A and B are shown apart, each in its own frame.
Chain A
Amino acid sequence: MLGIVGIIPDENFPLVYGTPTLVENFLIVDRWQIPVERGTAALIASAIKTLEFLKKPSPLVFLVGDIGTGKGSKVLYRFLAENLSQYSFKTLTFHYILPEIDGCLKVILAIEKFSKKPFLIADAGFMYAVKMAGYANFFDLFTPDIGELAFLADEKAPHPFYTRGFLLSNENDVESLIERAYKHQNAPPYLLVKGEKDRIVFKKKVLLTIEEPLVPELEAIGGTGDTLTGLVSALIYAGYPTEKAGAIAAKANRLAGALACPTPATQISTIINFIPQALQRLID
């Protein structure tokens, strides 16, 4: 099973878990209808599109409403700490949540109870929490953008907001940031670094760089990083080796973007609808 953990930007949305369906631009989970905008909903929608294409079952998702106060995140941390070990996952992806070291450590303890450890992916707030907790090595894959890579590379930074000196790093700095992130043990074995060029990294070595098609407008569109994490999660769950999954995901995300002929005002749901077409071109 692929598990996905994250938040929904609605403070009235309770803790909900189940297998979602994607109907037009809405996720349906339990009796809840969630618009596919940026964030975890976009990650889940791209994972569902990918899994449908690969004829694999939809993910099991664990969601809670949180608008940044952390109230929902606390409920989710607690639920995961107490219940996660009842499930069995092949791949488990953690996404938006208020970064909180204590909550994160309790979830890690719950994961340690699995008889077989899933392939663990972290992005966004949970990735920040894992790094701050000093457990990057417990995970298998992080999917940072360049700003977040700078945060992983800065052993003192508690959040990308404070990353010293190199927050506005450009493409030329990426390899030194990768080196530094591994030096301070703040990166898991695999990284998928999102940017103008996407890089698949294994133990500080850049295995692959994907830079085509280049669609500059995608940088402005909220959710393109989320869809990439959804794609790679689904491909890894479907059995693709990490390096290949990363390569297909990065190419498909770019291609779906290009097929949408976007402007900086295009919304992520438009791009998600092109994911099957993009995968069709990349996978026999």
Chain B
Amino acid sequence: MMNWLTKFFLPKKEKTQENAQRALLIFENTSEVIQAEKVLQKEGYKVKVVGPPPEVRKGCDLAIEVPVVEIPGILNLLKTKKIEPLDFISFSEDEILKPVDLFNVKDFGEYLMVRAANMKITVDKKTLTIVNVSGGGCPDVPYLASVLVGKNLKDIFSLKDKGHTLCGYALHLAFKKTKELLCSE
């Protein structure tokens, strides 16, 4: 923790005032990002999942954008949950990539297909059964599809805990949006 605080209070690189206000938490893998996001949101932190800048990118990664001033509290909380980031970095707006927040909905009559980023989920509108999952290229997609197909949207089920990659995260967004659209009443 001391290293973190040293880095936080004594930044070596020059930073603009604007850049110094936010930072990215970098994790070992996407599963940890998803867990950390869940923990932090539950505690009321305003955090956002984003793409890390190229120099710290390993592949299929996610990072969490957090307000710099809240880093000590965030790190303490994550430590109690045994989720510790590898590093944190300050960033400029043009260095990071924002995940897609657009959805596309296609109505097939009896079925509704919802797309988030590259992932699509199709549901029987009458029974609310998930009938198909398509799109995506990460290795949790076939697994998540096998878990989801046949499930009912109203079942108590957290997809977020089962996804490990960006495609899994996109599928979680599509799942959430589908629930909003079909289970809102």
> Which chain A residues lie closer than 8 Å to B108 at the CB level?
216-217, 220, 263-264
Within the complex, the shortest CB–CB distance from A264 to chain B, in Å, comes to 4
Given A161-B117, A264-B113: A66 touches B139 (CB 8 Å cut-off) = yes
> Is A118 in contact with chain B by the CB < 8 A criterion?
no
Choose among B111, B140, B143 the residue that contacts A264 (Cβ–Cβ < 8 A). B111
Asked whether, in the complex, the Cβ of A67 is within 8 Å of the Cβ of B132, the reply is no
Given A37-B146, A161-B100, A264-B132: A132 touches B59 (CB 8 Å cut-off) = yes
> Is A129 in contact with chain B by the CB < 8 A criterion?
yes
Within the complex, the shortest CB–CB distance from A206 to chain B, in Å, comes to 22
Count, A-B residue pairs, CB within 8 A: 185
> Is A283 in contact with chain B by the CB < 8 A criterion?
no
Interface residue total, chain A, C-beta cutoff 8 A: 59
> Is B92 in contact with chain A by the CB < 8 A criterion?
no
Complex: chain B residue closest to A156, CB-CB: B97
Asked whether, in the complex, the Cβ of A160 is within 8 Å of the Cβ of B118, the reply is yes
| A residues apposed to B, CB below 8 Å | 7-10, 37-41, 66-70, 72-73, 96-102, 123-125, 127-129, 132, 145, 147-148, 151, 156-164, 167-168, 216-217, 219-225, 263-267
> Which chain B residues lie closer than 8 Å to A266 at the CB level?
132
Which of A37, A38, A159 neighbours the largest number of chain B CB atoms within 10 Å of its CB? A159
Given A70-B29, A162-B97, A264-B132: A219 touches B120 (CB 8 Å cut-off) = yes
> Which chain B residues lie closer than 8 Å to A70 at the CB level?
29, 139, 164
Interface residue total, chain B, C-beta cutoff 8 A: 53
List 14 A-B residue pairs with CB atoms under 8 Å apart, sorted by A's residue number: A8-B142, A9-B140, A9-B143, A39-B141, A41-B142, A100-B59, A124-B137, A158-B59, A161-B170, A168-B115, A219-B120, A220-B132, A222-B134, A264-B110
Give the dominant DSSP class at B's interface. Answer: mixed
> Is B85 in contact with chain A by the CB < 8 A criterion?
no
> Is B99 in contact with chain A by the CB < 8 A criterion?
yes
Which of B59, B106, B135, B139 neighbours the largest number of chain A CB atoms within 10 Å of its CB? B139
> Which chain A residues lie closer than 8 Å to B149 at the CB level?
222, 267
Choose among A40, A68, A157, A223 the residue that contacts B163 (Cβ–Cβ < 8 A). A68
Asked whether, in the complex, the Cβ of B142 is within 8 Å of the Cβ of A37, the reply is yes
Give the docked Cα–Cα distance between A98 and B142 (Å).
12
> Is B175 in contact with chain A by the CB < 8 A criterion?
no
Asked whether, in the complex, the Cβ of A9 is within 8 Å of the Cβ of B146, the reply is yes
Within the complex, the shortest CB–CB distance from A37 to chain B, in Å, comes to 6
Proximity string of chain B (66-77) to chain A, C-beta cutoff 8 Å, 1 when within and 0 when not: 000000000000
Give the docked Cα–Cα distance between A162 and B166 (Å).
9
